[in-house]
Structure 1
Amino acid sequence: MGEFWVNRDETTINQKTRYTEIHVPDGKPDVLQQIEHGVLQLVAQVNAIGYAIPGINESHLYQYRHLGDAVNKTDNLVYNPRLDSLQTDGRTSGTPDDRWAFTNRTPHMNYGTAISLAAASRALKDYNPELSKEALRVARFIWDDEHNHQANPEEQTYSGRFSNPEFMKSIECRAAFELWRSTDYEDYKTRMNELLPTLLEQFNRNASVIAQMIPFMDNAFKKQVRPLVEAYAGELAEVDKENPYGVRISTAGWAGNRNIVQACITNYLLHRSYPELINPEYIYRGLNYLYGCHPCHNLSFVSGVGAQPKKVAYGSNRADFSFIPGGVVPGIRILKPDFPENREDYPFLWSENEYVIDLAASYIYLVNAVNSLLK
């Protein structure tokens, strides 16, 4: 399916009956079923609230610290005020919802959701045509609504990169790109071209976005980008001087496996268009690092993968000193001034040992990219 034709089928998933069983194929590619699951959630959010929201969380401590399958977090009952429960003060009140939705509106969240839905609409076109159409409709609705929306003072704003004008232009440009690919509507391409100069001015920050665009642009654009990729390749060589592992290890407060995987994916996308400039070694090193070629110890940061995989982590199952196969942890954190740490005796350091879903998805992409290069 898609770029790598990942048709693996190891799981039974039934959205209507809300039933899932691992290790039991159902004749459908698992990746498409995962995309379908995410699209159903995003579409439901926008249809219910009118825009994309940051998240939906459990509302009680007992749910947060649950053990076992994630289904234990919810009673699967829609809130009903007639179902009374006894409170600690002796009064009764309606059974509380077991989910809290955070409904603050932000432009970057809206554009990010439009990007996901527009791209997903292409993936689902043959698998689930109706959901594909709905995903694209919602993506276009978000685009139009964001361009016509007048923010009010009560809307929450973000500091840092989420309020950075260059970042916002980058994410709007990517939304225009994905919508153009899915609709062939010229207005999206026009807006994309208007925003591209800003992206090219900060090539390193936007390299992954630009790399995705190159195969769909004309030769003039590819020639325009080439000197920027040459400079980028020169900077990759400088990373070799930082440490023996050939990747950029984060020195911030959160360990850097996500950045390492994303950098290798960017290198793959650029290598695809400029194989003579980007050495594939800068792609392979990411997996080498994850699988044990890193400081502190030689464990694989991917639970269940590798000769000595990570078995102490913090995931949706709060059982102490447990792991979830396929989970990827943040990795090595540098304690000041220069001490690398990834604890095996304490899983609750989020910055070292917390599973993050988008990192697992990026890891899967990188594995398939490497497989495609090695054939």
Structure 2
Amino acid sequence: EEFGLDHDATTIDQENRLVEIHRPDGRPDAIQQIEHGLATILGGYRSLGRIYRGIICSDLRQYVMLGDAAAMTDRIPGTGDDRWVFTENNPRRELQVAAGLAAAARVLKDHNPELAREALETALVMWESNSRAPGNTVDKVDALSELILATGDPELVATLVSLQESISRSISRCGWAVGHVIHMIDDASFRTTVAGAVKEYQARLQKEQATDSPYGVPYKPNIWGAGWTIQEFGVEQYFFHKGWPELTSTDFFENALHFILGVHPGSNNASFVSGVGSESIRVAYGVNRADWSFIPGGVVSGTALIRPDLPELKTWPYLWQQTEYVMGGGATNYMFLILAVDSLYR
């Protein structure tokens, strides 16, 4: 939606459960990946009436398996190796899912209208069910922003405007979501108040970054690598700049990408994206970790900080806190930053 991504290099046939890479099928791969995600999210909702938290194997022996994932189960129900589904009553989680479903509905409306309709209807039901739960301002703002973009509903706009003071107090956490939709809000008081909060937040960021690190981004190291956190920060800064270009710059999200690609602490300055850059992570905690190998395009959290001040990024496949691959937040935010920076210089 944001960058007109229409890349097609894969055949995906959900009905016959067939995937062939390097074989275009005439449909954008990103659209098909969204459809694949909705198959399990909406499928779970149809079956359970709620969103599940996760699906996972039931014992440690399966969990630490190093072989072919297809051999983890015999595909026969009731033999002890079945996956378990975990559910919860969690308003915050449902608001997050409502935001995702609303965004998915927008991009699918011309490609799969029926699925888009179901996604949006489910998102609205989740919003209505959880919008009155106390607190959760950040997740409410995220859900409202995506639903406003999907529906243009003036009642949703009015609800967002009513959160003006809470948004100002939490601007560092939810301002980016407002930046996504500020062009649709005419309320002068809201626009002035939120813009003032954004200005103060950006000034504070500039001051903190100057003493945090030489990398052009706020750097708060932890026991695991900071890469994913910095990527998330970069994506959020893109939307701050989109909403308030006069109050922000592109430096933060550009520097976030630089950090991921090698401008980070430690003697090992490999790119955190396997296969991208002259040096990159070639031994990672993925499904092929027992092979001391990597998956091209996999994104790790990267260099950790051993207290008090030793940066560490080992070439070793079993340190999940340094070289684990994840899709959500890892690969997705990296791809977004690549497209964001690419769009600046086209």
AA at the equivalent of 1:111 = L
Equivalent pairs, count: 342
Which residue in 2 is equivalent to 1:233? 202
Q: Distance in 2 between matches of 1:115 and 1:175?
A: 4
Which residue in 1 is equivalent to 2:228? 258
AA at the equivalent of 2:278 = A
- Is the aligned partner of 1:120 residue 2:104? yes
Q: Distance in 2 between matches of 1:196 and 1:59?
A: 45
CA positional deviation for 1:118: 1.2
Unaligned runs of 5+ residues in structure 2 are: none
Q: Distance in 2 between matches of 1:75 and 1:191?
A: 50
Seen in structure 2, the aligned counterparts of structure 1 residues 68 and 305 have a Cα distance that, compared at 3 Å, is farther
The 5-angstrom pairing of residues 302-341 of structure 1 reads: 302-341=273-312
Identity %: 39
1:293-346 C-alpha deviation (Å, 9 max, x unpaired): 1112121100111111111111233424221111110112111111111111x2
CA positional deviation for 1:9: 0.8
CA positional deviation for 1:96: 3.1
CA positional deviation for 1:223: 3.3
Seen in structure 2, the aligned counterparts of structure 1 residues 72 and 121 have a Cα distance that, compared at 3 Å, is farther
Structure 1 contact 66–72 (Cα < 8 Å) conserved: no
Q: Distance in 1 between matches of 2:34 and 2:314?
A: 33
Which residue in 2 is equivalent to 1:348? 318
Which residue in 2 is equivalent to 1:189? 157
Q: Distance in 2 between matches of 1:21 and 1:76?
A: 22
Seen in structure 2, the aligned counterparts of structure 1 residues 16 and 100 have a Cα distance that, compared at 3 Å, is same
Which of 207, 218, 221 is equivalent to 1:248?
Answer: 218
Unaligned runs of 5+ residues in structure 1 are: 80-93, 150-164
Q: Distance in 2 between matches of 1:68 and 1:351?
A: 21
Q: Distance in 1 between matches of 2:159 and 2:27?
A: 37
Q: Distance in 1 between matches of 2:139 and 2:281?
A: 34
Q: CA RMSD in A?
A: 2.2
1:235-278 C-alpha deviation (Å, 9 max, x unpaired): 23220322221222232233211221121122221222333332
CA positional deviation for 1:111: 1.1
CA positional deviation for 1:226: 2.5
TM-score, normalised to structure 1, is: 0.84
AA at the equivalent of 1:102 = F
Q: Could you tell which deviates more after superposition, 253-262 or 55-64?
A: 55-64
AA at the equivalent of 2:163 = L
Which residue in 1 is equivalent to 2:259? 289
Seen in structure 2, the aligned counterparts of structure 1 residues 180 and 243 have a Cα distance that, compared at 3 Å, is closer
1:14-63 C-alpha deviation (Å, 9 max, x unpaired): 11111111111111111111111111111011111111121001224454
Seen in structure 2, the aligned counterparts of structure 1 residues 196 and 22 have a Cα distance that, compared at 3 Å, is farther
Q: Could you tell which deviates more after superposition, 296-305 or 248-257?
A: 248-257
Q: Could you tell which deviates more after superposition, 209-218 or 2-11?
A: 209-218
Partner of 2:204: helix, strand, or coil? helix
CA positional deviation for 1:103: 1.6
TM-score, normalised to structure 2, is: 0.91
Partner of 1:334: helix, strand, or coil? strand
- Is the aligned partner of 1:271 residue 2:241? yes
Q: Distance in 2 between matches of 1:367 and 1:133?
A: 30
Which of 120, 127, 130 is equivalent to 1:143?
Answer: 127
